Amino acid sequence: MAAMIDWKACSSIRPHAYDVFLSFRGADTRKNFTGHLYMALQGAGIRTFRDEDEIEGGEHIGFKITKAIQESKMSLVVFSRDYASSKWCLEELLMIMKRRETIGHIVLPVFYEVDPDDVSMQTGFFAEAFASHEKNFMDNRDMEEWREALRKVADLKGPVLRDRYEAQFIQDIVKEVGKKLNRMILHVPPYLVGIESRVKEIRSWLHDGSDKVGIAILHGFGGVGKTTIAKTVFNQNFHEFDSWSFLRDVRETSNQPNGLVKLQRRLLSDILKGEPQKINNVDEGNIKIQNALAYKRVLVVLDDVDHLDQLDKVIGDRNQLYQGSKIIVTARHGSLLKSHEACEKFGVDALCYDESLQLFSWHAFGQELPNEGYEEFSQKIVHHCAGIPLVLEVLGSSLSGQSTDFWKRASQEPEAIDGDGKIQKILKISYDSLRDERDKNLFLDIACFFIGNDKDYVRRILECCDFYRTLGIQKLIDRCLITIDKDNKLMMHQLLRDTGREIVRQESPDDLGKRTRLWHHDDALDILEKNMGTQKVKSLVLDQQLLNTENEVHLEAEAFTKMRNLKLLHLNNVTAIKEMQEGKEILTVLAWILFELLTE
């Protein structure tokens, strides 16, 4: 069995382990030019990864190299005469260029004793190298990918050693690297899976050529990757605007004392290139921001917005912005703007199964696929995560380096590995974003009782109890808290269900009778038999067939007398039903609904 890798330990020390990944052909530059360049970069305080053990003839990039590329802010590719003769170097280059296309990874080519045209067109020494690869029966598809990567990297332009001293050449490279690093201003996770198509779609919108002010909303439930996508888009495109700003944690900041003014100051400081700004109140900030944005084409990202008022107060009148400016908003629902205000909406969906397994594996094993012997465990756990990147990262990191027994238990009871509640804390943010208490109650009712039931059936029940609002279901759908399947059934992701039920448990962790909802049949029977119910209980379900007992259940009417606020009652296969129907005194204490009667 392959050894477990403690991935969390090696990746969580800092956002990026390296500033620069140095790609080079060791045989002809390690002990001279590249060695001197490496020392110069290190001396300038630029953390540089240099592979000390080049593997000749390797057909695939090893874990160490892959990890180093992903944890570096940029790559420096030194092209020398023998660079293309190494399949290892070409595979390295291919990964570097793919990362550039995916997340805007910075790449700087350096041409050491070779002409950039030879690299681009594979002539000279590069033609000889490819002829050798063909003779060795290399896969044509691999070779074409290498050729394309060489063409693209040569087009990026970079320092060329011609008639000048190497020492000066190296210093020029170090200066250029310093400039490049300042452009990567937002940290994104080193392992980005499944975001390329999402980023490409938004990038196309940014470059649509329109003179109008554009607004886009990235929406999806908590943890699905909205912020990561927004950061990636920002990193790739901010330099094409006159000014730019990325405002983090808008929801949280705006709820703080003077929070909106803090956001305005940050925005104005960014737009005016770091000059400190004095703003005394929101109205004053609006005027200053409008003046600053009126004459510059800007890119502004507001991350985690949950109310239109936040956008209005921070940005002001969007129509007054300079032509071609773009605003990107991340939110948990797509209906943030007024109906008459045009905007682009980009729904951020969960990852597919293959993407989920890959992301999970990077965090659990430090590679694209699970270690041998852990495939089945991983598949079960990944299925439980339902494609939520943040959840996959949390669970993968939690399992890294754990024993086989722990993995087995986690795959059987996935909730056990979330012992400190990280996942539920993340998902609870979407619940907290529901401003109307009736919408929160609707979410909890569905989480506890109605998953898998027909939407119209549930609506009729809740209307009888005064629990239902016409807009309630749609609000939950907008926030990705529930979905409606093709059979009109209410569906909710298991993690969201668990989050909702945990919210109810926390109402009274130790006293079942003081919780608003009792969905577990054994819990309901326990408080009814012991007459432990209180006026806190609003909803209760009890089905004899689902109890952990074969004894017939017979309830006394007085078991319900303390539950004066009980409005929703589902009893099935319980002998007390008839007696309760005949007991008029009970009807004065509670309004009860027998679900089966509604469907007859």
Strands 298-302 and 72-79: what pairing? unpaired
**Residue 515 CA to its chain's centroid (Å):** 33
Query: Which residues make beta-bridge pairs with 327?
Result: 215, 300
Token code pair at residue 221: 């439930």
Please count the CA atoms within 13 angstroms of the CA of 201 that sit on its side-chain side: 15
Token code pair at residue 341: 């205000």
Report how far residue 45's alpha carbon sits from residue 41's, in angstroms, rounded to the nearest whole number: 7
* Neighbouring C-beta atoms of residue 43, cutoff 10 Å: 9
Backbone angles phi, psi at 85, to 5 degrees: -75, -15
Report how far residue 107's alpha carbon sits from residue 109's, in angstroms, rounded to the nearest whole number: 7
Mark whether 92 is an active-site residue: yes
User: 597 CB contacts (<8 Å, ≥6 apart)?
Assistant: none
Report how far residue 13's alpha carbon sits from residue 402's, in angstroms, rounded to the nearest whole number: 19
Strands 326-331 and 214-219: what pairing? parallel
Coil vs helix vs strand at 488: coil
Alpha helices in 104-165 (DSSP H): 116-121, 125-135, 140-154
**Residue 198 CA to its chain's centroid (Å):** 12
Supply the DSSP string of 572-590, one letter for each residue: ES-THHHHHHH-HHHHTT-
Token code pair at residue 538: 């609003």
> Rounded to the nearest 5 degrees, what angle is found at the Cα of 520, between the Cα atoms of 516 and 525?
90
Give the active site residue among 71, 91, 92, 393.
92
Number of H helices, E strands in the chain: 28, 14
- Reference 479, options 446, 522, 514, 513; nearest CA is 446
Report how far residue 482's alpha carbon sits from residue 221's, in angstroms, rounded to the nearest whole number: 10
User: 332 CB contacts (<8 Å, ≥6 apart)?
Assistant: 219, 220, 221, 222, 306, 429, 430, 433, 479, 480
Asked whether the beta carbons of 289 and 194 are under 8 A apart, the reply is: no
Report how far residue 556's alpha carbon sits from residue 559's, in angstroms, rounded to the nearest whole number: 6
Long-range (24+ apart) CB contacts under 8 A made by 314-321 are 314/247, 314/250, 314/260, 314/263, 314/264, 314/267, 314/289, 315/267, 315/289, 316/286, 316/289, 316/290, 317/290, 318/213, 318/215, 319/213, 320/290, 320/293, 320/294, 321/213, 321/293, 321/294
Report how far residue 361's alpha carbon sits from residue 344's, in angstroms, rounded to the nearest whole number: 34
- Burial-class residue 202 by CB neighbours within 10 Å (0-12, 13-18, 19+): buried
User: 215 CB contacts (<8 Å, ≥6 apart)?
Assistant: 318, 326, 327, 328, 329, 337, 341, 342, 343, 344
Asked whether the beta carbons of 421 and 506 are under 8 A apart, the reply is: no
User: Catalytic residue positions?
Assistant: 92
